[in-house]
Structure 1
Amino acid sequence: MDHTKTLTNRADNIFGEAPHKGCENCEEELFFAMQDNEHRFSLGLRTVLHCLKLAELSGNIPPLPSKWWISVINRHGLELPALDKQHE
């Protein structure tokens, strides 16, 4: 199966920022191929991590340790909302 169309139909991250072609900091190293009832699309790992942080901040998932977030930020070059100091 050719996944080219799925990979080029990329969901933007939650801040509406599309990745910059050729930008080393914006290139994803992992994509998830997704499908709903009508579309096939891809979701980059950074988008998933942004969604996870939003879920954490909104109280929908338990807080993850700040040390873990710092590691994720450093590894993936993310800009996330400020870390809550009480989760350390």
Structure 2
Amino acid sequence: FRAKANELRQSLEQILNTLHVCPDKIEWAAALDHFSVLNVQYYNLVGQLRPMLKHWAVHPKVMSTSTSLPDTVAPSLKEVQVLFFGRVA
């Protein structure tokens, strides 16, 4: 995983460096191809990490009032969906 993550980081640094150093000389077709490759590398890395990450839960350190209500109501809505529909939509 580390090798693929480093490969993705290096590819991203390369395209960012090109955009920073000589933005007027960029061949946009090649840049779009490079972004396409970055996208594929990213999703391959996420696909490999997903089985390991499904065992972990992330809990916020700070919860704002704008997000606390939806987070509080969400479990209740899931219970209601199970009661009415037999499953969570």
Query: Could you tell me the TM-score, scaled by structure 1's length?
Result: 0.31
Question: Structure 2 length normalisation: TM-score?
Answer: 0.30
